[in-house]
Amino acid sequence: MASSQIRLKILPSVRCLFDKLVQVKVEGLAPHKPVQLRSKLVDDRGVVFKASALYKADETGQVDVSCAPSLGGSYTGVEPMGLFWAMAPDTPHNKFTKKNVLSPTLVELEAVNGETGVILASETNEREYMTEGMKRIPLEEGKIRGVLFIPPGKGPFPGIVDLYTFGGGLSEPRASLLASKGFVVLALAYLRYQDLPKSPKNLDLEYFEEGVIYLRSRPEVKGPGIGIISISHSGALALSMSSFLSGISATVCINACNANTAIPLHYKDLVIPPLSPVIENVKITDSGLVHVRDALPDPSLEENRASLMPIERATCQFLFAVAEDDHNWNSAFFANQAAATLRNHGKETFQLVSYPKAGHFLEVPPMPYCPSGFHAAIGSDVLFGGEPKAHSDAQLDLWERVQEFFKSHLDNSSIC
């Protein structure tokens, strides 16, 4: 059969939002013959990510990735989105980067003859971050720096502040995709962005307070309270905002620490020092990566309590998400400690969800899994932990939970 009759289809459309599932099908193949499917994307830093999987055409000469098993390659078994989440960087220790959400991520898919290596068909999936009519507004309001995403439609909508990692800069994909679900989202930078300091001596909670006040004042935002979503280092900032600032109704902390880390945090006359790492607990793996999981001490010990966030003061609802194989730090220990603090103060105002075999960077699905990469606070490549399949499943589950959590606690939110 001539390859011109072979079609690779992406259904329901070649264009979709980044977090949407698609069905990949190949038709017109020789029945029962092997075919390799390949995926490739180039991120905004020029890093190439690839995956491949070997399939066998059925008796009608078709491969439907949503129900046919991969027989080998980057993953095995029935994995409808395997060609996306299993992509790995050509050069190791690189995390997928998307700086410009105004353009889609292009994923090239190819069907290759499993015996000759000849390309039989190809198609490109355009995975977008902005829905039609969404506004993206870069902000330089007073001190605050970031980008505001406003969904199309009449509104008003629930508001969310999105905080990212210690790596700094601004990460917009999660914020824009949350906005596509009907939230006004402020992606708030806090270091290494525009005129914000690269290596500040301390962080001021007043800066984050200004962001909260600004978001709550927007006419598109319905009150009374807003949400916060955070990951890694920013988790403690989210906890401090929830503890000290008014107007917070729902806070998501993904693989966070319940104490301040890296830089002192100031608020009015209060200084919350960072936890001091236990240097002898930092290990080097055989491959030369730094293993920092056990570098931070127990925040509840007397000598460390000044670094603890006083979350017993908070009146909001919390969602703590934990990857059990997080190698960045012991996020399960910290989240359980935070939950115990709330419970000890008579507050059942939290959900704690735990994901076995998942690693540190739980992102919007089907973001490629990042097992290792550069750590801004350490200054070298570190292990982030996890296994690709389990990590992908965790991202899928958590993304749905985050949306449900915000919908249930912000749509009719009450704050103290």
User: Scanning the structure block, which residue is given the tokens 């990469």?
Assistant: 373
| H-helix or E-strand spanning residue 15 | strand 15-17
Q: Which among 326, 331, 409, 413 is annotated as catalytic?
A: 326
Neighbouring C-alpha atoms within 13 Å toward the C-beta of 73:
25
48 phi and psi angles, rounded to 5 deg: -95, 130
- Nearest Cα to Cα of residue 184 among 144, 142, 212, 143: 212
The reply to whether 232 belongs to the active site is: yes
Please state at what angle helix 205-217 crosses helix 234-244, rounded to 10 degrees. Answer: 70
- Nearest Cα to Cα of residue 321 among 212, 203, 404: 404
Q: Which among 39, 230, 232, 307 is annotated as catalytic?
A: 232
- Which three-class secondary structure state does DSSP give residue 137? strand
Cβ atoms of 255 and 226 closer than 8 Å? no
Task: Report the distance separating Cα 166 and Cα 151, nearest Å.
Answer: 27
Q: Which among 327, 360, 391, 409 is annotated as catalytic?
A: 360
Cis? peptide before 156, omega within 30° of 0: yes
The reply to whether 326 belongs to the active site is: yes
Dihedral angle computed from the Cα positions of residues 10, 12, 15 and 18, in that order, rounded to the nearest 10 degrees: -90
Cα maximum dimension of the chain: 77
Task: Report the distance separating Cα 210 and Cα 416, nearest Å.
Answer: 19
Cβ atoms of 311 and 258 closer than 8 Å? yes
Tokens standing for residue 249: 């109704």
Neighbouring C-alpha atoms within 13 Å toward the C-beta of 94:
18
84 phi and psi angles, rounded to 5 deg: -100, -55
Active site residues: 232, 326, 360
